[in-house]
Amino acid sequence: MGYHKSIRLGENFYCYVWMGRGNNCNSSLLCDVLRGKHPHVLIDPGHVRNELGEPGFDSLTQAVENDGFKMEDVGLVIGTHSHPDHFEAVAPVVEKSGALVTLSREEDEFYRQVGKMFFSAFGAKPPQVNPSFYLQEGDLSLGAKNRLAIKVLLTPGHSPGSISLYLEEEKILLSGDVVFFGSIGRTDIPGGSISLLRKSIDKLSQLDVEYLVPGHSTEVGNIISGKQKIERNFYMVKMFV
Ligand SMILES: [Zn+2]
């Protein structure tokens, strides 16, 4: 318990930065944006339990509760990609809430053909998911009268169907495992491509961003705040690719 740090970046937007010693992703919650009894959108629920036995999902559930929300009230889970450290806990979220699940078509195909095997490497069970719809490049409208539009960007390279999410109004970019503070996503794993990652980094670097929320923290940090710092980070990581 207590492995996540909650950071509120917008009126309806909370980041849950992973603070454990072992591996897990950062998660995010868009709260009260969907119609009906399950109004929250959870992005990248992460591991149920990681390689050190740290209970990622229980910790996230607690962190979300501390902010006044319930995992049971999640209506949609978005996966930036299907790797176990982002996607494993989709299963218990769906079990608790009955939430719909979405990711890109490319990632779903990869998950079915190859990605599921990554889970056994972690001693984990791949979640049985049937995406309700696929994420496509462009606006994803949520809520009553489509009052919130998230921009979905296809950003392959780390995984074939990786996506990033951009909240235009708040200038928040969720970059998944494309770019981190001082670093970039791995491409030496099945499905990885350095040339695709380079293009994806280029694409993200053109957005007007005030908060960059990466899929993982590094030794340098986690969320990057401020346009200049973010531009500098893009400039630096481009030297790696
Ligand atoms: Zn990954």
| CA angle (168 as vertex; 167, 172 as ends), nearest 5 | 50
Per-residue pLDDT of the chain (241 residues; tens, 9 = 90+): 699 999 999 999 999 999 999 999 999 999 999 999 999 999 999 999 999 999 999 999 999 999 999 999 999 999 999 999 999 999 999 999 999 999 999 999 999 999 999 998 878 889 998 999 999 999 998 876 557 789 999 999 999 999 999 999 999 999 999 999 999 999 999 999 999 999 999 999 999 999 999 999 999 999 999 999 999 999 999 998 8
Question: By C-alpha distance, which of 113, 41, 114, 127 is closest to 84?
Answer: 127
Half-sphere CA count of 109, side-chain side, radius 13 A = 8
The CA 185 to ligand 1 mean position distance, Å, reads 7
Inter-axis angle of helices 227-237 and 194-205, nearest 10: 160
The CA 80 to ligand 1 mean position distance, Å, reads 9
pLDDT at residue 121 in the model:
80
The CA 31 to ligand 1 mean position distance, Å, reads 24
The CA 186 to ligand 1 mean position distance, Å, reads 8
DSSP structure class, residue 136? -
The whole-model pTM stands at 0.96
Cα 231 off chain centre by: 21
The CA 72 to ligand 1 mean position distance, Å, reads 26
pLDDT at residue 69 in the model:
98
The CA 159 to ligand 1 mean position distance, Å, reads 7
pLDDT at residue 187 in the model:
96
pLDDT at residue 142 in the model:
85
> CB burial class (10 A; 0-12, 13-18, 19+) of residue 66?
exposed
SS3 234: helix
Between CA 180 and CA 234 the distance in angstroms is 9
Between CA 196 and CA 156 the distance in angstroms is 6
The CA 16 to ligand 1 mean position distance, Å, reads 17
The CA 47 to ligand 1 mean position distance, Å, reads 11
